[in-house]
Amino acid sequence: MRLFVFGFVLFFAFIAGSQFSVGQLETGWKAHDLNRSQPVVVKPAEKIGNAPSDAIVLFDGTDMSKWRSRNGGAAKWKIVENAMESVRNGGYVFSRQEFGDCQVHLEFASPKNVKGNGQGRGNSGVFLMGEFEIQVLDSFDNQTYADGSAGSVYGQYPPLVNASRGPGQWQTYDIVFRRPRFDGDGKLIKRARLTVLHNGVLVQDASLAFGPTNWIQHHSYAGLKNKTKGPLGLQDHGNPVRYRNIWVRPLVEVRPQPEKPYDAQRIELDQAVAKRLVGRYGGHRVEWKNENLVFNFNGNTPMVMVPHSETEFGFTKSAGNIKFDLNEDGIPTGIELNLDAAGKRKAIRK
Ligand code: MG
């Protein structure tokens, strides 16, 4: 039993250790690098839910010029009371513009006059990249298979909760979509990821699609090959579902990386030279651990040091640096710390 527990402890230490070693650098950046570009300024709407300044408005209640039918011709839905309404046998409608990674906002209302049951009541759907359906259904007091109710990734993930409003009431979807990734040979390396808020309530939490959605059985990613974008699609399922206030924000797909590789200045430091820097500096502490110098900021944030010279060091996970002052005998007398934009801090050796 004791050995078993010990095994578990080792296992978790390994897991914790491996995460620790990846840490911040998964983003490609060390913490607080001032070379990192500033976030682009976006002016939010006066009313949350309306389009922010960088959104592409696909439907504002007036015209359907940004939409087409499947064959590319004019969309065959109709505009009723500033909403676009699905027309039976009118077919799906697709945005003329195509998107990969994106944020989508739209509002929908199932018919006020309740007709049908299960999948037959207020059925429509929002298709990301034209392939991945977030189900639209009147799921208010209307049971069906869970993975086909409102807010589901159709046939794959039921919504986390049923946040539906009643028939005829306007409801919102806010969707964050990350498209699937393929390598150069068209082999899938990342599944599509869908996050959805239904009426402000989280119903899909980064759900990874098994493939393009479909009735009975989902499709395979193989059919998408290297597809990187597709239209936003809205389903005609024979029920007069209405949509309004539809906007999309394409998302940055590849984040900028540091121009120069970190630690190009790294040198090999003689252990004896390194170890003479061990000691207390104000409230901080430098120690030798696992073949590295480690700087303990305020004694409790261990930062592995990267030697750039005998007296200057960077850190493995922070863009900051530390410089040691030595006296004539080569004994350290203090440090100068540079940890963020707040300026340099000094500490005297104790
Ligand atoms: Mg549907």
Question: Residue 286 in contact with residue 278, Cβ under 8 Å?
Answer: yes
Which of 250, 216, 217 shows the shortest CA–CA distance to 232? 250
Q: What is the Å distance from ligand 1's center to 59 Cα?
A: 20
Q: What is the sign of the dihedral through the CA atoms of 173, 133, 94 and 99?
A: positive
pLDDT at 14 (0 to 100): 38
What pLDDT is stored for residue 135 in this prediction?
Answer: 98
The gap between the terminal CA atoms of the chain, to the nearest Å, is 47
What spacing in Å lies between the alpha carbon of 226 and ligand 1's midpoint?
Answer: 26
State in Å: Cα 215 to ligand 1 middle: 9
Per-residue pLDDT of the chain (350 residues; tens, 9 = 90+): 444 444 444 443 333 333 333 446 678 899 999 999 999 999 999 999 999 999 999 999 999 999 999 999 999 999 999 999 999 999 999 999 999 999 999 999 999 999 999 999 999 999 999 999 999 999 999 999 999 999 999 999 999 999 999 999 999 999 999 999 999 899 999 999 999 999 999 999 999 999 999 999 999 999 998 899 999 999 999 999 999 999 999 999 998 999 888 888 899 999 999 999 999 999 999 999 999 999 999 989 999 999 999 999 999 999 999 999 999 999 999 999 999 888 899 999 98
d(CA 143, CA 178): 29
Q: Are 339 and 319 in contact (CB under 8 A)?
A: no
User: Which residues are within 8 A (CB) of 198 and not within 5 positions of it... i.e. 6 or more apart?
Assistant: 150, 151, 159, 163, 164, 171, 172, 173
3-state secondary structure of 139: coil
Interval between CA 128 and ligand 1 midpoint (Å):
13
CA 154 – ligand 1 centroid, Å:
7
Query: HSE-up of 91 (CA within 13 Å, CB side)?
Result: 12
Report CA torsion sign: 236, 240, 241, 242.
positive
- List the one residue out of 271, 205, 240, 250 whose CA is nearest residue 81: 240
pLDDT in the model for residue 20:
36
Sorted by sequence, the CB contacts under 8 Å of residue 121 that are 6+ apart come out as 110, 114, 115, 137, 138, 142, 239
Could you give the CA distance from residue 262 to residue 250 in angstroms, rounded to a whole number? Answer: 30
The pLDDT of residue 137 is 98
- 214 CA → ligand 1 middle, Å: 10
Q: Which fold has domain 56-250?
A: Jelly Rolls (2.60.120)
Distance 253 CA to ligand 1 centre (A): 28
- Output the CA 238–ligand 1 centroid distance in Å: 10
Query: What is the H or E stretch that residue 244 is in?
Result: strand 242-250
Q: 22 CA distance to ligand 1 centroid (A)?
A: 41
> Cβ–Cβ contacts within 10 Å for residue 310, how many?
16
For ligand 1, the distance from its centroid to the CA atom of residue 130, given in whole angstroms, is 13
Distance CA 136, CA 109 (A): 9
Ligand 1 mean position, distance from CA 204 (Å) = 16
Which sequence spans correspond to the domains of the chain? 17-36+259-348, 56-250
Q: Using the mean position of ligand 1's atoms as its centre, give its distance from the Cα of residue 344 in Å.
A: 59
Protein residues placing their CB within 5 Å of the ion ligand 1: 123, 125, 135, 235
In order of 92, 100, 197, 220, 229, the CA distances from 181 in angstroms are 26, 10, 23, 14, 11
The sheet that has 230-234: what strands, in order across it?
Answer: 67-69, 93-99, 230-234, 124-128, 132-136
Calculate how far, in angstroms, residue 219's C-alpha sits from the geometric centre of ligand 1: 16
Q: Which residue, among 237, 243, 240, 242, has the nearest Cα to 120 in the 3D structure?
A: 237
Tally of residues, the chain: 350
Distance 217 CA to ligand 1 centre (A): 14
Query: Does the domain made of 17-36+259-348 have the CATH classification 2.40.128?
Result: yes
- State both tokens at 84: 């676009």
Cα 39 from Cα 242, distance rounded (Å): 35
CB atoms within 10 A of CB 31: 17
* pLDDT number for residue 10: 41
Give DSSP secondary structure letters for 130-188. TTEEEEE---TT----GGGSTT-BTTTB--SS--PPPTT--EEEEEEEE--EE-TTS-E
